[in-house]
Amino acid sequence: MMSRQSGFTLLEVMAAFVVFALVFATSLQVLSGAMRNTSRAEQFTKAALLAQSRMDLVGIDPPVEAGNWSGDFDDEYSWEIDITLWEVESEGSRVEIPTIDLFQVNLTVLWGEAIGQPRQAVFKTLRSAPVAP
């Protein structure tokens, strides 16, 4: 009587290897996507923090007056500010506040040009300034 050995056939081993390879490749794709998203979130968070610090300086450098300014935070991040007089329209006529002018401040933070992936974030706010005599 012949004894039959138990074990896996070559076909079963190859099928198990293919399943393992597919699961492993999918896991690597998910992990690399998560790492890219984490990096993007970190860059945007840094841009938002830098924007907040630059917005806090509006009124000191640059002054609250219409114009354009730009500069660098560091080697990777730069900024551009555009300040314009903000006018409120009410039923076809301009509403004036006699003692202050309102200015719209548009701040654009730029980064990633060095690696060929330019990114930007735009932040807006209103600032007041006394009316120039």
Residue 114 within any structural domain of the chain: yes
pLDDT tens track for 31-77 = 999 999 999 999 999 999 999 999 999 988 888 899 999 999 998 99
Show the domain range for 115. 10-130
Residue 93 within any structural domain of the chain: yes
Residue 123 within any structural domain of the chain: yes
SS3 (DSSP) at 112: coil
Residue 88 within any structural domain of the chain: yes
Residue 1 within any structural domain of the chain: no
Residue 80 within any structural domain of the chain: yes
pLDDT tens track for 95-116 = 666 788 889 999 999 998 766 7
Q: Cβ neighbours of residue 28 under 8 Å, at least 6 residues apart?
A: none
User: 30 pLDDT exceeds 90?
Assistant: yes
Q: Please, are residues 93 and 109 in contact by the beta-carbon 8 Å criterion?
A: no
Distance CA 54, CA 75 (A): 16
Q: Which pLDDT score, from 0 to 100, does residue 91 have?
A: 66
Terminal-to-terminal C-alpha distance of the chain: 114
Structural domain tally of the chain? Answer: 1
